[in-house]
C-alpha cells in the first residue's frame, strides 16, 4: 500500500520535467515583458519611480507607487546658506537638506518652508536626522504639508545654546484624499 506522501512524490517526479519547462517559459515571458515595459515607459516619458495605471474610468494615468521614489536621479541635496529659517527649494521626491550653522538658544526653534514640486496636498513628508554629533542637540518635525511645499521646524533640545549644521533626510509618500 502506498502512502499519500509516496503518491505525491511519484506524481511530482512524473510531471517534474513539464514544471521545469513551464518555469523556463514563464521566466522568458517576464524577461520579454520587462524589456517591452521598459521600452514603452521610455517612449511615454514615465520616470523609473512612476508607473502607468488604469483608472476606474478606464483612462491611463502615470502615478508614483506607494512608498518613496527610488533609483538613480530621484534624490537630491541642498544646503541653507543664511540661517536655519531660510526657505529652501528642491524638486526631488527624496533627498537631504543640510541646515545652516546658526546658533539656537536652549529650547529655541527655527522654522523654514521647504518648496518641492513633488509634494501634493494629500502627501506625507517623512523626515529624519542623519546620525551625527548633533543627534542629541536638534530635533526636526514637519509642521504642515501643502501642494508644492511643507513647513519644517528645527528645535534645540539641549540645555544650552547650540550651533552646527544638522542634516535632514526626507522622502515624499504619495497620498490621496479618496
Q: At residue 20, does pLDDT exceed 70?
A: no
Which pairs from 47-50 meet CB under 8 Å and 24+ separation? 47/73, 47/74, 48/72, 48/73, 48/74, 49/74, 49/93
Q: At residue 89, does pLDDT exceed 90?
A: yes
pLDDT confidence bin for 55, thresholds 50/70/90: low
Q: Could you tell me the three cell numbers for 144?
A: 504642515
Q: At residue 61, does pLDDT exceed 60?
A: no
**pLDDT, position 174:** 82
Tens digit of pLDDT for each residue in 93-145?
A: 889 999 999 999 999 999 999 999 889 898 999 999 888 888 789 999 999 99
CB-based burial of residue 76 (10 Å sphere; 0-12 exposed, 13-18 middle, 19+ buried)? middle
- Secondary structure E strands in 27-120: 51-54, 60-63, 75-79, 88-89, 94-98, 109-115
Residues 6+ apart with CB under 8 A from 63: 50, 51, 52, 53, 174
More confident residue, 104 or 43: 104
Tens digit of pLDDT for each residue in 22-33?
A: 666 766 666 666
Q: Using alpha carbons only, what angle is made at residue 138 by residues 140 and 66, rounded to the nearest 5 degrees?
A: 25
* Mean pLDDT estimate for the chain: 79
For residue 75, the tally of other CB atoms under 10 A from its CB is: 18
Q: At residue 10, does pLDDT exceed 90?
A: no
**pLDDT, position 6:** 76
* Mean pLDDT score, 166-172: 92
Amino acid at each position: 500500500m502506498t502512502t499519500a506522501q509516496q503518491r505525491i512524490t511519484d506524481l511530482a517526479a512524473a510531471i517534474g520535467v513539464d514544471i521545469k519547462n513551464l518555469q523556463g517559459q514563464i521566466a522568458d515571458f517576464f524577461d520579454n515583458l520587462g524589456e517591452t515595459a521598459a521600452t514603452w515607459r521610455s517612449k511615454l516619458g514615465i520616470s523609473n519611480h512612476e508607473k502607468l495605471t488604469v483608472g476606474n474610468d478606464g483612462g491611463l494615468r502615470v502615478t508614483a507607487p506607494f512608498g518613496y521614489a527610488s533609483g538613480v536621479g530621484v534624490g537630491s541635496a541642498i544646503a541653507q546658506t543664511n540661517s536655519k529659517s531660510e526657505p529652501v527649494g528642491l524638486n526631488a521626491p527624496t533627498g537631504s537638506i543640510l541646515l545652516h550653522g546658526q546658533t539656537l538658544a536652549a529650547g529655541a526653534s527655527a522654522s523654514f518652508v521647504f518648496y518641492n514640486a513633488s509634494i501634493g496636498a494629500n502627501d506625507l513628508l517623512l523626515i529624519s536626522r542623519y546620525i551625527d554629533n548633533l543627534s542629541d542637540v536638534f530635533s526636526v518635525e514637519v509642521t504642515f504639508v501643502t501642494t508644492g511645499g511643507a513647513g519644517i521646524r528645527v528645535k534645540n533640545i539641549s540645555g544650552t545654546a547650540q550651533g552646527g549644521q544638522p542634516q535632514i533626510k526626507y522622502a515624499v509618500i504619495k497620498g490621496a484624499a479618496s
